C-alpha cells in the first residue's frame, strides 16, 4: 500500500534529522560539561565565592536541561525508528513474507478442535499475519481469541471497535510504537500477577522497621565518621567497635528479611520492562476519546474509582526498578555493585519491601484488570491493522439463526492476492453436509482450510477474505492433519478415530457445530475405508450434523449422494498438451477427471496400463 511506503520515507527522514540533532546535542553537552568544570575550578581558585555560588547552580541547571532535551530527542528518534519499522512490517505482511514474525508455536496443540488444521499458529500462519501486540499478555489474549469463537454479541462489539480503530492509522501506529520500546513477550507476567496476590509481611510492622532503619542508619553513619576521624590514632582499633556492632545488627536484620527481598525480585525482575510497556500504552490510550462501547469501557477500566492506572503502574515500575539494583543470589552478576554497601549502612531493603507491599495493598485488586484492558486494546489494535491492510476484506454479518454460512468470493488470507482464487460457498440449515471430490492438488484441502480460517476470523470479530459474508456463531471442529504419535504409540489412523469420536460426542450434545473432515480413514485399507466412510456419513446425517467432507473416493461420494446424505461439489483439473492445469474453482456435482496416474508418471513411476492381464 502506498501509505506504508510514504510513511517509511517520512519516518526515515525524521529519524535522520533527529539523529543529527542528537549528535549536536551530544557535542554541546560535552562542551557545557567541560565549561562548567573549568568555570567552577577557576572561580574556586580565584576565591570568587559569590560568583561561584551563582555560576555553580546555573551551570548544573544548564547541563541538566541539556540532558533532559537529549533524552527527549532520543525518545523521539527511537519512536521514528519504530514507526518506520512497523510500516516495513506491514509491507512484509502484504507480500506474504511472514517468517520474521512470532509464529506462536507455544499455542499449538494437536488436541485442539481446529488450530493445527487451519494454520492458525506456526510458520506462515494467521497468528503471524494479524499479530501486532507488544506485550506477553496481549500475545496470549490474541491466541486465546483465535482458539475460541466468541458469542454474537461480543463479535459485533469487537467489529464496531475494530472499524473505529482501523480508520485512525496515525493513532494505531503510535500506540503500537509506544509498546515496541518495551516489547517483551517472554516476561512471565503471570509471576507478577501471582506475586501481587501474596500476603504482605513487613507492612504490618512498618513503623517498627522504619524507626529501626532510621536509628541504625544514623548510628552506622555516625560511627563510621567517628572511626574515620580517629583512624590515624595509635589505638584506632577501639574506635571501630561501635561501627562493627551497628553493622552486625544491620546484617542480622538484612539476613532476616533477605528471603522476602529475593522473592520480590525473583517474581518481578522480568516485568519492570513489562510495566513500562503497560504505562506507555495506557498513556497513549488516555490521549484519545473513543466512540465504540467496548473501547470506552476498556478506557474507563484504566481510571476507575479515581485511580490512574498509568500513575500507579509507573509507581510500581520505579519501586521495582530501584529494588532490582539489589540483585539476587541466583543472579550473581546482576544488580548494582554499590547496592550491598549502601544497603549495609542504610537498610534500604526495608524501604523497598514496604513500598512494594504498600503498592500491593493499594492495587492488588486492580492490576490484573489493567493488564487485561491493555491486552484487549492491543488485540483490537492488531485486528484493526489487519483490517486496514486488507480493505477488500469484509466484516461478516453474524446471524441469529444457527447453521448458516454464506460467502461470496471467498479466498485464503494467507495466499497472496495475485495467486488467490476465490469461490462462493453457501451452506444453510442443520443436517446439511457438502462433500467435495477432486483430483490430487486440485484444491480440496486448501478450500476446507479457506472456509475454516475465515470462520476463525469471523468469530474473533475480524474481517473475512470475501466480498460478502454472513455466518452463524458456532463451534468449529476439524480432522485434517492427524499424525502418528510415537511417544504415545498412536498411529495416524487411531489418531483420526479419536478425533471422530470427539466429534460424535460433541454432536450428541446438540450444540451448533460446523465440522470439516479431510480424506476420512486414509490410514486403512480401501475396503474398510469405503465402508467406514459411508457409515460415518450416515451417522453424521442421522445426527443432523452440519459440515464439509473432502475425499478422493468417487464411489463413496456417489453412494452418499445417491442416498441424499450429502450434496456433491468438486474441484477439477485437465491435462492439455502434456501440461496439468488447475483452475481451483468449486463446481457442483462430482469430480470428472483423474490425475494420479499422470502425477505418478511425472515422478518416475512406470505406470502399467493393464494390470489385470499380468
Q: pLDDT per residue over 180-202, tens digit each?
A: 988 877 777 888 888 888 999 99
Per-residue confidence (pLDDT) for residue 598, from 0 to 100: 62
550, three cell numbers: 473432502
What is the C-alpha separation between 250 and 256, in angstroms, rounded?
10
pLDDT class for 132, splitting at 50, 70, 90?
very high
* Amino acid 601: pLDDT: 67
The helix or strand, by DSSP H or E, that contains position 270, with its residue range, turns out to be: none
State the pLDDT at residue 427: 96
Answer yes or no: is pLDDT of 521 > 60.
yes
Mean pLDDT value across residues 107-121: 92
Which cell goes with 506?
A: 460433541
Residue 407: beta bridge partners?
425, 469
Grade residue 482 by pLDDT with cuts at 50, 70 and 90: low
Residue 330's pLDDT is what?
Answer: 58
pLDDT band at 522 (very low <50, low <70, confident <90, very high): confident
C-alpha to C-alpha distance for 3 and 168, rounded to whole angstroms: 13
Please report which helix (H) or strand (E) contains residue 244, including its range.
Answer: helix 237-268
| Strand blocks (E) in 162-252 | none
pLDDT level of residue 98 (50, 70, 90 thresholds):
very high
Judge contact between 544 and 515, C-beta under 8 A: no
What percentage of residues in the chain have a pLDDT greater than 70? 93
pLDDT average, residue stretch 601-611: 66
> pLDDT value at position 486?
46
When the pLDDT of each residue in the chain is averaged and rounded to a whole number, the result is 89
The three cell numbers locating residue 538: 450416515
**Phi and psi, residue 254, nearest 5°:** -65, -35
Residue 110: band (very low, low, confident or very high) from pLDDT cuts 50, 70, 90:
confident
Which pLDDT value is given to residue 523? 65
Q: Angle formed by the axes of helices 293-301 and 152-166, to 10°?
A: 90
CA distance 522 to 520: 6
- Distance, in Å, from the CA atom of 172 to the CA atom of 281, rounded to the nearest integer, reads 11
Across 457-468, average pLDDT? 97
Residue 259 grid cell: 528471603
Distance CA 380, CA 295 (A): 9
- What pLDDT, on a 0 to 100 scale, did the predictor assign at position 487? 47
DSSP code of residue 293: H
Rounded Cα distance between 174 and 183, Å, is 14
Average pLDDT over residues 107-131: 94
Residues with Cβ within 8 Å of residue 359, at least 6 apart in sequence: 312, 315, 316, 319
Average pLDDT over residues 239-258: 91
Mean pLDDT of all residues in 388-417: 95
Can you tell me the mean pLDDT for 422-431? 95
Relative orientation angle of helices 169-180 and 152-166, to the nearest 10 degrees: 100
Query: Do 224 and 346 meet the contact criterion of CB atoms below 8 Å apart?
Result: no
Judge whether 106 and 127 are in contact, CB under 8 Å. no
Is 70 exceeded by the pLDDT of residue 387?
Answer: yes
Which grid coordinates belong to 560?
A: 452418499
pLDDT band at 333 (very low <50, low <70, confident <90, very high): very low
Q: Say what the pTM is.
A: 0.89
- State the residue for C-alpha cell 460457498: 425
Q: What is the pLDDT of residue 332?
A: 45
- Model pLDDT for residues 235-247, shown as the tens digit of each residue: 777 778 888 999 9
CB 312 within 8 A of CB 365: no
CA–CA distance from 377 to each of 131, 388, 391 (Å)? 12, 16, 21
Using pLDDT thresholds of 50, 70 and 90, give the confidence band for residue 81: very high
Q: What's the grid cell of residue 426? A: 453457501
Query: Quick one: cell of 337?
Result: 555493585
Render pLDDT for 339-355 as a digit per residue (tens, 0 to 9): 888 998 999 999 999 99
390 touches 411 (CB < 8 A) = no
Amino acid at each position: 500500500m502506498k501509505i506504508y511506503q510514504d510513511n517509511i520515507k517520512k519516518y526515515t527522514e525524521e529519524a535522520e534529522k533527529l539523529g543529527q540533532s542528537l549528535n549536536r546535542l551530544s557535542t554541546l553537552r560535552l562542551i557545557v560539561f567541560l565549561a562548567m568544570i573549568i568555570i567552577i575550578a577557576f572561580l574556586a581558585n580565584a576565591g570568587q565565592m559569590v560568583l561561584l555560588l551563582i555560576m555553580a547552580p546555573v551551570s548544573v541547571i544548564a547541563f541538566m536541561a541539556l540532558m533532559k532535551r537529549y533524552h527527549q530527542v532520543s525518545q523521539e528518534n527511537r519512536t521514528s525508528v519504530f514507526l518506520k519499522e512497523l510500516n516495513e512490517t506491514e509491507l512484509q505482511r502484504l507480500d506474504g513474507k511472514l517468517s520474521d514474525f512470532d509464529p506462536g508455536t507455544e499455542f499449538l496443540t494437536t488436541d485442539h478442535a481446529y488450530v493445527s488444521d487451519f494454520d492458525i499458529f506456526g510458520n506462515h500462519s494467521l497468528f503471524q499475519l494479524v499479530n501486532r501486540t507488544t506485550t506477553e499478555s496481549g500475545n496470549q489474549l490474541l491466541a486465546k481469541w483465535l482458539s475460541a469463537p466468541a458469542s454474537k454479541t461480543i463479535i459485533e462489539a469487537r467489529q464496531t471497535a475494530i472499524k473505529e480503530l482501523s480508520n485512525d492509522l496515525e493513532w494505531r501506529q503510535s500506540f503500537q510504537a509506544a509498546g515496541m520500546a518495551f516489547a517483551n513477550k517472554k516476561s512471565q507476567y503471570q509471576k507478577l500477577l501471582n506475586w501481587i496476590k501474596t500476603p504482605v509481611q513487613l507492612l504490618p510492622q512498618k513503623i517498627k522497621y522504619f524507626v529501626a532503619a532510621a536509628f541504625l542508619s544514623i548510628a552506622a553513619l555516625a560511627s563510621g565518621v567517628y572511626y574515620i576521624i580517629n583512624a590515624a590514632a595509635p589505638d584506632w582499633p577501639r574506635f571501630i567497635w561501635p561501627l562493627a556492632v551497628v553493622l552486625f545488627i544491620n546484617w542480622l536484620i538484612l539476613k532476616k528479611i533477605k528471603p522476602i527481598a529475593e522473592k520480590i525480585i525473583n517474581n518481578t525482575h522480568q516485568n519492570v520492562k513489562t510495566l513500562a510497556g503497560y504505562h506507555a500504552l495506557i498513556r497513549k490510550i488516555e490521549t484519545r476519546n473513543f466512540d465504540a462501547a467496548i473501547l470506552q469501557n476498556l478506557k474507563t477500566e484504566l481510571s476507575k474509582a479515581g485511580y490512574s492506572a498509568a500513575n500507579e503502574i509507573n509507581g510500581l515500575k520505579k519501586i521495582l526498578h530501584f529494588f532490582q539494583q539489589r540483585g539476587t543470589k541466583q543472579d550473581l552478576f546482576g544488580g548494582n555493585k554499590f547496592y550491598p554497601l549502601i544497603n549495609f549502612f542504610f537498610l534500604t531493603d526495608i524501604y523497598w519491601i514496604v513500598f512494594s507491599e504498600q503498592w500491593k495493598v493499594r492495587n492488588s485488586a486492580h492490576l490484573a484488570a489493567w493488564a487485561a484492558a491493555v491486552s484487549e486494546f492491543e488485540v483490537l489494535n492488531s485486528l484493526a491493522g489487519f483490517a486496514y491492510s486488507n480493505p477488500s476484506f469484509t466484516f461478516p454479518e453474524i446471524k441469529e439463526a444457527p447453521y448458516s454460512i454464506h460467502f461470496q468470493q471467498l479466498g485464503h488470507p494467507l495466499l497472496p492476492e495475485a495467486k488467490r482464487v476465490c469461490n462462493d460457498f453457501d451452506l444453510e440449515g442443520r443436517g446439511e453436509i457438502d462433500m467435495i471430490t477432486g483430483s490430487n492438488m486440485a484444491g480440496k484441502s486448501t478450500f476446507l482450510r479457506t472456509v475454516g480460517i475465515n470462520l476463525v476470523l469471523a468469530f474473533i470479530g475480524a474481517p473475512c477474505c470475501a466480498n460478502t459474508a454472513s455466518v452463524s456463531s458456532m463451534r468449529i471442529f476439524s480432522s485434517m492433519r492427524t499424525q502418528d504419535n510415537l511417544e504415545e504409540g498412536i498411529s495416524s489412523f487411531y489418531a483420526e478415530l479419536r478425533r471422530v469420536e470427539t466429534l460424535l460426542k460433541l454432536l450428541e450434545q446438540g450444540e451448533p457445530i460446523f465440522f470439516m473432515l479431510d480424506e476420512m480413514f486414509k490410514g486403512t485399507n480401501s475396503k474398510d475405508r469405503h465402508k467406514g466412510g459411508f457409515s460415518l456419513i450416515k451417522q453424521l446425517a442421522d445426527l443432523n450434523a452440519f459440515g464439509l467432507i473432502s475425499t478422493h473416493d468417487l464411489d463413496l461420494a456417489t453412494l452418499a449422494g445417491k442416498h441424499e446424505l450429502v450434496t456433491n461439489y468438486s474441484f477439477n483439473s485437465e491435462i492439455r498438451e502434456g501440461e496439468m492445469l488447475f483452475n481451483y474453482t468449486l463446481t457442483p456435482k462430482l469430480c470428472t477427471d483423474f490425475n494420479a496416474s499422470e502425477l505418478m508418471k511425472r515422478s518416475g513411476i512406470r505406470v502399467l496400463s493393464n494390470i489385470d492381464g499380468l
